[in-house]
């Protein structure tokens, strides 16, 4: 349920794709995999003081979670950087094997198929519980049980039909959308209604990126930036003297950068209607309002900064659905969470503490 504008790193060195040849149509392909939300304008300035012997800058790009994931790290040596990056990518692979709803062999897919999962992986429990929490925080705008609706649109698009799914099918799917009917405990995850299913697309990739960042820090690589198809997690440690600089990209893909922000520690993610169900009707995209079964249209791009990518992911999706007034009100009610919203006419609304460098 998540996509983004492009928040991708802009760095002096060309990155090299890694050996992971995951199918780009695979993990979390509905928006999460194909999105990009910003452009990193550092670390040219951020690393101006790192010269001569000592700290090294290493960048590695691999295909993971259905998108390109780039890790840029500053470490005491190439060996330290390589070991940390390998460990972080291993964690991404491990978690993908749990949370990928497109792979029929994952615990999440088993849950969606059977309606109950006993002895679930603790990571699946954690992400599902967070999803349930965001359902309450956003007054229902974020709803992980929207999967039946998503599948109705996916199947309709796969059939090549230029029309929307039958209204009867949409109504039937809406009756199965209710995060309150998902029972979650460390022992069991269970659906209370037959035919229900959950998609963690709006938070799973963020959770995985956050975990990869934790792995880098565990290897004492505290200066790093992870860019997973536009979902960005930044950390400024002992080597960097200036924050990472990130540009919000033009959702119309015309080369304009609406804003630039500084980020020392935390995350930024952007949601927008960039994966289209129907090429004949660009108003129908992968983000669906779980209350009415249609794509929101008031906002074309919602960027959110938060302490974690998982939270930034969930809030950016929710704000897109809520619209400018309710979306800004939600973010203002959450300390340390800020947003930058672009309407269809490219008008901008932002929270007072949005970290813009242009003001």
Percent residues over pLDDT 70 in the chain: 78
Range of weakest confidence among 38-47, 196-205, 228-237, 318-327: 38-47
> Do residues 117 and 93 both lie within one domain?
no
Between CA 249 and CA 247 the distance in angstroms is: 6
> Do residues 217 and 266 both lie within one domain?
yes
> Do residues 207 and 150 both lie within one domain?
no
> Do residues 47 and 72 both lie within one domain?
yes
Beta strands 38-40 and 7-9: pairing type?
parallel
The confidence band for 344, taking pLDDT boundaries of 50, 70 and 90, is confident
Between CA 345 and CA 341 the distance in angstroms is: 11
Residue 330 lies inside a defined structural domain of this protein = yes
Range of weakest confidence among 1-5, 116-120, 175-179: 1-5
Residue 226 lies inside a defined structural domain of this protein = yes
> Do residues 177 and 215 both lie within one domain?
no
First to last CA, the chain: 32
> Do residues 246 and 326 both lie within one domain?
yes
Residue 273 lies inside a defined structural domain of this protein = yes
CATH number at residue 71: 3.10.520.10
Number of domains in the chain: 2
> Do residues 113 and 92 both lie within one domain?
no
> Do residues 241 and 334 both lie within one domain?
yes
pLDDT at 110 over 50: yes
DSSP SS3 for 241: coil
Say if pTM beats, i.e. exceeds, 0.75.
yes
DSSP SS3 for 79: helix
Q: What is the mean pLDDT of the chain?
A: 82
Cβ(41)–Cβ(72) under 8 Å? no
Between CA 81 and CA 73 the distance in angstroms is: 7
Residue 215 lies inside a defined structural domain of this protein = yes
> Do residues 208 and 328 both lie within one domain?
yes
> Do residues 305 and 170 both lie within one domain?
no
CATH number at residue 142: 1.10.3980.10
Output helix, strand, coil percentages for the chain, rounded to the nearest 5. Answer: 30, 25, 45
Mean pLDDT within 8-12? 30
Between CA 274 and CA 226 the distance in angstroms is: 21
> Angle at Cα 158 formed by Cα 153 and Cα 164, nearest 5°?
40
> Do residues 268 and 145 both lie within one domain?
no
Strand order in the sheet with 182-184: 116-118, 188-191, 182-184
Residue 75 lies inside a defined structural domain of this protein = yes
Which of 139, 165, 191 terminates a domain? The answer is 191
Query: What DSSP string describes 128-169?
Result: HHHHHHHHHHTTTSS-GGGHHHHHHHHHHHHTT-SSPPPHHH
> Do residues 159 and 248 both lie within one domain?
no
Domain with 177, as residue range(s), is: 107-191
Cβ(172)–Cβ(155) under 8 Å? no
Residue 2 lies inside a defined structural domain of this protein = no
């Amino acid at each position: 349920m998540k996509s983004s504008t492009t928040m991708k790193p802009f760095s002096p060195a060309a990155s090299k794709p890694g050996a992971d040849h995951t199918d780009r149509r695979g993990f979390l392909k509905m928006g999460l995999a194909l999105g990009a939300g910003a452009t990193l304008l550092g670390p040219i300035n951020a690393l101006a003081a790192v010269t001569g012997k000592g700290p090294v800058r290493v960048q590695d790009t691999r295909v993971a979670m259905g998108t390109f994931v780039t890790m840029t790290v500053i470490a005491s040596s190439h060996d330290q950087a390589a070991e940390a990056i390998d460990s972080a990518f291993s964690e991404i692979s491990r978690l993908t094997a749990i949370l990928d709803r497109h792979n029929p062999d994952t615990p999440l897919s088993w849950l969606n198929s059977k309606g109950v999962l006993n002895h679930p992986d603790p990571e699946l429990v954690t992400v599902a519980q967070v999803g349930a929490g965001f359902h309450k925080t956003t007054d229902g705008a974020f709803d992980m049980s929207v999967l039946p609706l998503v599948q109705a649109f996916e199947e309709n698009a796969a059939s090549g039909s230029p029309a929307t799914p039958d209204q009867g099918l949409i109504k039937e799917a809406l009756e199965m959308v209710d995060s309150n009917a998902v029972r979650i405990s460390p022992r069991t995850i269970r659906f209370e209604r037959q035919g229900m299913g959950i998609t963690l697309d709006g938070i799973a990739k963020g959770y995985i990126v956050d975990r990869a960042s934790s792995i880098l820090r565990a290897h004492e690589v505290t200066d790093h930036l992870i860019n997973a198809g536009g979902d960005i997690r930044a950390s400024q440690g002992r080597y960097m003297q200036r924050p990472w600089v990130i540009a919000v990209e033009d959702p119309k893909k015309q080369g304009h950068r609406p804003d630039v922000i500084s980020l020392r520690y935390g995350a930024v993610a952007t949601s927008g209607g960039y994966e289209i169900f129907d090429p004949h009707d660009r108003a129908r995209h992968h983000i669906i309002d779980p209350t009415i079964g249609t794509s929101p249209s008031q906002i074309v791009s919602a960027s959110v900064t938060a302490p974690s990518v998982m939270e930034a992911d969930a809030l950016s999706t929710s704000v897109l659905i809520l619209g400018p007034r309710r979306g800004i009100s939600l973010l203002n009610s959450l300390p340390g969470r800020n947003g930058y919203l672009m309407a269809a006419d490219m008008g901008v609304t932002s929270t007072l503490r949005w970290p813009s460098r242009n003001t």
